Amino acid sequence: SKVDLLPFFSEVVVFYERKLKGLRSALQRTSLLPMADKPGTTVNFRKLLLNRCQKEFERDKMDNAEFEKKQKELDSAVSEKERLQEELEEAKDKARRRSTGNIKFIGELFKLRMLTEPIMHDCVVKLLKNHDDESLECLCRLLTTIGKDLDFEKAKPRMDQYFNQMEKIVKERKTSSRIRFMLQDVIELRLHNWVSRRAEQGPKTIEQIHKEAKIEEQEEQRKVHQQLLSKEKRRPGYIKRPSQETWSTVPVTKNSRTIDPTKIPKISKPQIDDKIQLGPRAQINWVKGSSGGAKASDSGKDYQHVFWGFFPRLEHLIPFLTNYPVTVVPAKPVLSEEEMERKSKSIIDEFLHITDYKEAVHCVEELDQASLAVFVRVCVESTLERSQIAREHMGQLFYQLIQQGSLPRAQLYTGFADTLEMADDMAIDIPHIWLYLAELLCPLLKEGGIPMRELFTELSKPLLPVERAGVLLSEILHLLCKQMSHRKVGALWRESGLSWSDFLSEEQELQSFISEQKLQFTVSDCSSASSAASKPSLSSEELHKQLERLLLVDMASDEQIFDWVEANLDESQMSSSSFLRALMTAVCKAAVTDDNSSCKVDTAIIQKRLPVLHKYLNSDTERQLQALYALQALIVNLDQPPNLLRMFFDCLYDEDVISEDAFYKWEASKDPAEQEGKGIALKSVTAFFTWLREAEEESEDN
């Protein structure tokens, strides 16, 4: 195309593309044009343009394959070697000109807000990764065009990384001198606040046109005067025509039509939008572009004869753009199921990669609300055979979508129903499918989500015919028990007015099902009798003994620990320092491993008990301080092994068990009852507190 070969006219092309699209207001809807070769079929001109830019940007591999093919022909040829060498060089030169022209065009589209900032950063990163001359030249072209618009306060750290890498490339001197000079020019351009020392050759202003016309007219008069003086035999007024082999400015004579400045369109610089929407990392959506942008003038007809001279292939679009009615579609077009699936997978892949809930919710809100059941189905199918963490994150996303009203509950149930209907058959290939489905659904029962009665009733509808409703609900309830006690989960079940007979068929025996699935806690409150009377207070020694038996001997699950605590302690005892110290001592003692010469911390044990620690320490600084006192006492009882306390501090900080405030409180504590071994303990964690303060200062500076 002309854009590929004439990079300096990219601004003109972009302006006319913008003009043809009906200015900013028209860009906020989709304009469809009829195809000449297919009557009745429409095509989105803007979409085609952006798709073409993306394909051109990503066609490096195609070019490389073509170059390799020509190189092989060259190596195998003998007599035609010179011709093939010329063809190879010509192909490389053409590809280079196409790339630089296209990259400049992409930059101009961004300046008109038709492409987003994340797309530009993606282009810069890709070009910077490839250290070949062509990529670096394109990088220089792109940054020269849009660098000023990308280099605002929030993006400066990212821009600094780009330019540090560019300076490194220059210093390494592994590229050609031409490319090094280009890189250096861009680096200096940024140092001068993106003010170029020489004006870029582009579309000329009215003042430039008048000035050049006046200079040229004076030059022509001077030539005529010289010709008359030399008495050459030529007819009066004859002026030698400029050579056709070189570019020259079109002469403007006194009889030329004057140019009205009001008819020359102005391209205003758009404002950068700080509310950037990121697309999927793996594949940024070019076609989406941006809804903002500068408003161009409606006039500018006097430029059309110049423009179409350079770009005749686009001239046939004028009748359609001026005479053909523009078809306006909704802001959120109705996608086919296949398109919806493709878009959903893109959103899911990005979300599972970066776990940005806010961005994911925003992307889902842009989808057609009537088709969100497809999105839910794809989410379920995409995560069933992934990790537990992926399913938990997806369940949390469902919860946030429901909580914010971005996902209608009916769409959620319909999306799950598609999978639930086939789940029994899928269990052959995915034996734990009911557990996996429960991991996706469990977060929906949190406060602000979906009531238990409604969720269980809707989920059971597609499962009742295959007698699997009870199995799924059982898995969900047991997962809840890992987050709270059996007693609380049982209370939630009963308060919802649910009965197992509603979810089992006549052939399924109620009591045997409850017994097999260990669901007795849903039928009756086993601890109600004991809880009616005040529970006897356990001594500190008894607490240590019982908790160490549970964690070190019985290797009890978190559910069993929760059940024991609720069965034996009341609310005040659960927050007492004696219980918190006994719990922390038991957890940390279980995590200490003796490796012959030294003691180490098994962080996997700490991570396994995070639900227990988080539940009872409850992000409370005073409770966390008691836990640190207990850890200090444990280290003293173990004869203060070298670096053991430091390893515990690192682990507890990394896992968000103990806050910075609690660590500082422990460090500054002068409590006489807690001074045994405190001096040695402080000395062993000096490096930890030095690092903690430096990290805090660095965070404040940033």
Mean pLDDT (whole number) for 25-45: 55
What integer pLDDT is reported at residue 665 of this predicted model?
Answer: 92
Quickly tell me which residue has 């059940």 as its tokens. 563
What integer pLDDT is reported at residue 562 of this predicted model?
Answer: 86
- Residue 33: enclosing H or E segment and its boundaries? strand 32-34
Mean pLDDT of the chain: 76
Domain residues of the chain, as ranges? 1-205+264-331, 206-263, 337-526, 542-701
Amino acid at 497: G
pTM: 0.40
Please determine, for residue 399, whether its predicted confidence score (pLDDT) is greater than 80: yes
Q: Which fold is adopted by the domain 1-205+264-331? A: 1.25.40
Q: Is there a common fold for 1-205+264-331 and 542-701?
A: yes
Q: Are 488 and 443 in contact (CB under 8 A)?
A: no
Q: What is the pLDDT of residues 296-328, one digit of tens each?
A: 444 444 444 444 444 444 444 444 444 444 455
Please determine, for residue 458, whether its predicted confidence score (pLDDT) is greater than 80: yes
Query: Nearest CA to 8 among 265, 248, 202?
Result: 202
What integer pLDDT is reported at residue 702 of this predicted model?
Answer: 52
Query: Nearest CA to 377 among 404, 356, 348, 355?
Result: 348
What integer pLDDT is reported at residue 36 of this predicted model?
Answer: 60
Residue 311's CB is within 10 A of a number of other CB atoms, namely 17
Q: What is the pLDDT of residues 547-586, one digit of tens each?
A: 999 988 888 888 888 888 888 888 788 888 899 999 999 9
What CATH number was assigned to the domain covering residues 542-701? 1.25.40.180
Quickly tell me which residue has 């195609």 as its tokens. 62
Residue 531 pLDDT class (50, 70, 90 cuts):
very low
Least confident of 228-237, 400-409, 427-436: 228-237
**From the CA atom positions of the chain, what is the Rg in Å?**
36
What integer pLDDT is reported at residue 394 of this predicted model?
Answer: 94
Please determine, for residue 20, whether its predicted confidence score (pLDDT) is greater than 70: no
What integer pLDDT is reported at residue 35 of this predicted model?
Answer: 61
Least confident of 414-428, 474-488, 657-671: 474-488
What integer pLDDT is reported at residue 321 of this predicted model?
Answer: 42
Residue 400 pLDDT class (50, 70, 90 cuts):
very high
Please determine, for residue 4, whether its predicted confidence score (pLDDT) is greater than 80: no
Least confident of 255-264, 576-585, 636-645, 673-682: 255-264
What integer pLDDT is reported at residue 337 of this predicted model?
Answer: 85
Q: What is the pLDDT of residues 269-282, one digit of tens each?
A: 444 444 444 443 33
The length of the chain is 702
Least confident of 20-24, 103-107, 685-689: 20-24
Q: What is the pLDDT of residues 342-394, one digit of tens each?
A: 999 999 998 988 888 899 999 999 888 888 999 999 999 999 888 888 999 99
Please determine, for residue 673, whether its predicted confidence score (pLDDT) is greater than 80: yes
Please determine, for residue 3, whether its predicted confidence score (pLDDT) is greater than 60: no
Q: Where is mean pLDDT largest: 332-336, 597-601, 610-614?
A: 610-614
Mean pLDDT (whole number) for 597-612: 88
Residue 34 pLDDT class (50, 70, 90 cuts):
low
Per cent of the chain over pLDDT 90 is 23
Higher pLDDT, residue 414 or 14: 414
Residue 267 pLDDT class (50, 70, 90 cuts):
very low
Q: Are 440 and 395 in contact (CB under 8 A)?
A: yes
What integer pLDDT is reported at residue 181 of this predicted model?
Answer: 86
Mean pLDDT (whole number) for 413-441: 91
Alpha helices in 442-485 (DSSP H): 452-460, 469-483
Q: Are 419 and 381 in contact (CB under 8 A)?
A: yes
What integer pLDDT is reported at residue 333 of this predicted model?
Answer: 62
User: Checking phi first, is residue 640 left (phi over 0); if not, alpha (psi -120 to 50) or beta?
Assistant: left
Higher pLDDT, residue 89 or 573: 573
What integer pLDDT is reported at residue 373 of this predicted model?
Answer: 93
Which residues lie across from 33 on neighbouring strands?
43
What integer pLDDT is reported at residue 78 of this predicted model?
Answer: 55
Q: What is the pLDDT of residues 532-558, one digit of tens each?
A: 445 667 888 888 898 999 988 888 888
What integer pLDDT is reported at residue 372 of this predicted model?
Answer: 93
What integer pLDDT is reported at residue 256 of this predicted model?
Answer: 42
Q: Where is mean pLDDT largest: 129-133, 186-190, 192-196, 522-526?
A: 186-190
Mean pLDDT (whole number) for 524-535: 50
Query: Nearest CA to 305 among 315, 296, 293?
Result: 315
Please determine, for residue 631, whether its predicted confidence score (pLDDT) is greater than 80: yes
Please determine, for residue 61, whether its predicted confidence score (pLDDT) is greater than 60: no
* DSSP letters spanning 307-352: HHHH-GGGGGGHHHHHHSPPPP--SSPPPPHHHHHHHHHHHHHHHH
Specify the CATH architecture of the domain 337-526: Alpha Horseshoe (1.25)
What integer pLDDT is reported at residue 58 of this predicted model?
Answer: 65
Residue 682 pLDDT class (50, 70, 90 cuts):
very high
Q: What is the pLDDT of residues 161-184, one digit of tens each?
A: 899 889 888 888 888 888 888 899
What integer pLDDT is reported at residue 652 of this predicted model?
Answer: 93
Higher pLDDT, residue 628 or 90: 628
What integer pLDDT is reported at residue 509 of this predicted model?
Answer: 84
Token code pair at residue 526 = 């086993």
153: DSSP letter = G
